[in-house]
Chain A
């Protein structure tokens, strides 16, 4: 007993101060929102577009755009760039209420902040948001970084956010994975078992656009093929900070 108390003392208080304080330092090699000064692109160069394993890059009216929902943040485009002007910035704040909001010019930087949920939703759920997580394919990394948010380092219970075991208790269906054919029924049943009002949050490139498995016959290719999605949080997997930031912004809980 004494020993566990002593260890408790030496382990200390470890919950991050974010969002009141600055976020914890990320690795200087962390791959956040991609950026390139596309005015320096050589004429007709498509090296990054061709290198992308999931076709997340494309040209729209002569402007390079990246679909952050499909992006694996894998740096294959960065490696392929002959001018070395493509970089992955430390920007972790990426989330959107609609799918189109994740398709952004490569030449723009900064946070992508989701619109807040409606006043009614925030009134009902703003101080107590119960989440049912369903893993529907994918690799388990998104699940791991969602799980992390319940640990003492992140403690999203501070904001009234909690993972619950039953869909009957849940306000949010948080989906990870590309929704495999074999999980489609379970996803639909889980959603049907939830009481109104209910929200769907797609976490990770698989749940948003199929991720590396996009186009495979065994997967549906994302949450929106099965359900209407209310919030998209990109990443492969999204950093726990991205998930927390996306949810808190949607609940209007971050004052800048």
Chain B
């Protein structure tokens, strides 16, 4: 019998209900479970003289989560990423905390590079040359370092070094909740504010036994879909720009702003700051505001459709996108990809469908997939999702449930674990927290969707021309700050 505890998204468990396994049993069952489930969280916290390792896996087919923990006293744990590459970044993170020491695992958040190649894995050979890019990039984007090993124009290997955005967020959560903790959730990835703040709120609600009113859940879903719409539309514009097709680039750049303004219509801020609070939402959508939102949404639906459909009828755009940066379905499964990048490889994987919480338990949204796994696929899946989100938002606003906007959040239960997942526009945003014996946050773990997907970009570049990098990069559009925390 599997000793792991099963539970659902946004549920809390007391410490005694999270099975404590002997290290051997724990790692053996991790190895076994990962053949049929995927890792949602795999993190440690100090407990006395030892480290407590907690694993949370998702059994998407059963719409359940699984968890267990173990106590590790040695500085060495078995490296399972050799067999399960989806654990790779988790293990590097553990190595960074000094728990898992393995010489071949580089640290996840590296210090600044001063042109030192030794940290990277060079490709031997006379004709091979290295290209170093970053941390400061050409456009207005976040910092990260890319190291290409090329022969001619062909990329043999790409390594991505991150960590430049590290602000010490997880540690800052400890001892909370306090006046700042909600703002940490809002700013851990500023383009994913609603998703991360909702996940944070759900963790607190699960830990305090708070029931969120249905109207608040509906308004959270509205915020989450508007966030998705703005970012997906912006991405389509950026992808058009990188294929050299300026009409859609210009139109979508502007339309994205109008979607951000829809968010501002509700909460005053273009990025959804202040919209979600623990217990519910801070802003209501009154009748005149709902009418205004629907009116603007109708205009935007038409404008977006016109602008985006130009892409699919322009052969130069399609030629640039097809068969570039291709990942197979097997690679997506192996890496534990999430979000549009996973769905573009044909995986039916979406928190709103697999592990639904809040409004998504009542109003379903179809999972949009495409199966070619290339830049085109990742672009097209975004368009499919835009259309589904537009319909969803329309129906949602027309049939908003009545009721309160929030419920009071009481004290947190001591010695509990809570896990909350949200389908952010990039994919699964996971928050997990352990409380201490005095009901404070003892360990707070955030897994931004980018954490799973950065490796996919490295893999997608294998064998590509180096000039395809910007386009491939844009097709993933991953978060640096969400990864670096």
Binding site for B on A (CB under 8 A): 3-4, 7-8, 10-11, 14, 26-27, 29-31, 51-54, 72-76, 79, 88, 133-148, 150-153, 163, 165-166, 177-178, 180-186, 190, 211-213, 216-219, 236-237, 239
Best-surrounded residue of B138, B163, B257 (most CB of chain A within 10 A) = B257
Give complex CA distance A142, B265 in Å.
Answer: 19
CB-CB contacts below 8 Å: B264-286 with A: 264-271, 273-274, 282-283
Residues of A within 8 A of B283 (CB): 29
A141 touches B306 (CB 8 A): no
Please give me the 9 A-B residue pairs with the lowest Cβ-Cβ distance, nearest first: A139-B190, A141-B190, A29-B268, A165-B138, A218-B168, A151-B253, A139-B187, A53-B179, A27-B264
Surface stretch bound by A, among B140-148, B207-215, B408-416, B464-472: B140-148
User: Is residue B111 within 8 Å, beta carbon to beta carbon, of the partner chain?
Assistant: yes
Residue ID in chain A nearest B272 by CB atoms: A141
Residues of B within 8 A of A11 (CB): 251, 303, 306-307
Residues of B within 8 A of A183 (CB): 112, 135, 143, 164-165
* CB contact under 8 A between A74 and B481, given known A139-B189, A144-B190, A239-B270: no
Say how far B246's CB is from chain A's closest CB, in angstroms: 10
* CB contact under 8 A between A153 and B264, given known A53-B179, A146-B140: no
User: Is residue B191 within 8 Å, beta carbon to beta carbon, of the partner chain?
Assistant: yes
* CB contact under 8 A between A51 and B179, given known A29-B267, A75-B274, A151-B254: yes
A212 touches B112 (CB 8 A): no
Give complex CA distance A213, B190 in Å.
Answer: 13
A4 touches B310 (CB 8 A): yes
Residue ID in chain A nearest B313 by CB atoms: A3
Say how far B285's CB is from chain A's closest CB, in angstroms: 11
Say how far A3's CB is from chain B's closest CB, in angstroms: 6
Residues of B within 8 A of A140 (CB): 142, 189-191, 479-481
Give complex CA distance A150, B249 in Å.
Answer: 12
Interface residues on B, range: 35 or more
User: Is residue B109 within 8 Å, beta carbon to beta carbon, of the partner chain?
Assistant: yes
Give complex CA distance A139, B479 in Å.
Answer: 9
* CB contact under 8 A between A186 and B112, given known A135-B141, A146-B140: yes
* CB contact under 8 A between A182 and B257, given known A135-B140, A139-B189: no
Residues of B within 8 A of A7 (CB): 247, 251, 306-307, 310
CB within 8 A of B271: which of A141, A152, A163? A141
B139 touches A165 (CB 8 A): yes
A182 touches B163 (CB 8 A): yes
B172 touches A216 (CB 8 A): yes
16 contacts across the A-B interface (CB closer than 8 A): A29-B264, A138-B190, A139-B187, A139-B481, A146-B140, A148-B253, A153-B257, A177-B165, A178-B167, A182-B112, A182-B163, A183-B165, A186-B135, A212-B183, A212-B186, A218-B166
Binding site for A on B (CB under 8 A): 109, 111-112, 114, 135-136, 138-143, 163-169, 172, 179-180, 183-184, 186-191, 193, 247, 250-251, 253-254, 257, 261, 264-271, 273-274, 282-283, 303, 306-307, 310, 313-314, 479-481
A186 touches B140 (CB 8 A): no
Residue ID in chain A nearest B196 by CB atoms: A139
Give complex CA distance A7, B143 in Å.
Answer: 36
Give complex CA distance A76, B283 in Å.
Answer: 13
Residues of A within 8 A of B481 (CB): 137-140
A26 touches B264 (CB 8 A): yes
B168 touches A212 (CB 8 A): no
B165 touches A137 (CB 8 A): yes
A54 touches B180 (CB 8 A): yes
Residues of A within 8 A of B303 (CB): 11
B167 touches A213 (CB 8 A): yes
Residues of B within 8 A of A52 (CB): 179
B112 touches A185 (CB 8 A): yes
* CB contact under 8 A between A74 and B261, given known A7-B307, A182-B109: no
Give complex CA distance A184, B163 in Å.
Answer: 12
Say how far A222's CB is from chain B's closest CB, in angstroms: 13
Say how far B162's CB is from chain A's closest CB, in angstroms: 9
Residues of A within 8 A of B254 (CB): 14, 151-153
Give complex CA distance A190, B265 in Å.
Answer: 38
Give complex CA distance A133, B138 in Å.
Answer: 9
A27 touches B261 (CB 8 A): yes
Say how far A88's CB is from chain B's closest CB, in angstroms: 8
A218 touches B167 (CB 8 A): yes
Residues of B within 8 A of A217 (CB): 168
Say how far B169's CB is from chain A's closest CB, in angstroms: 8
Query: Could you list 10 further interchain pairs (A-B, Cβ under 8 angstroms) beyond the known A74-B274, A139-B188, A140-B142?
Result: A30-B264, A54-B180, A73-B269, A133-B140, A140-B189, A152-B250, A153-B257, A182-B166, A218-B167, A237-B190
Residues of A within 8 A of B163 (CB): 182
B314 touches A4 (CB 8 A): yes
Residue ID in chain B nearest A134 by CB atoms: B136
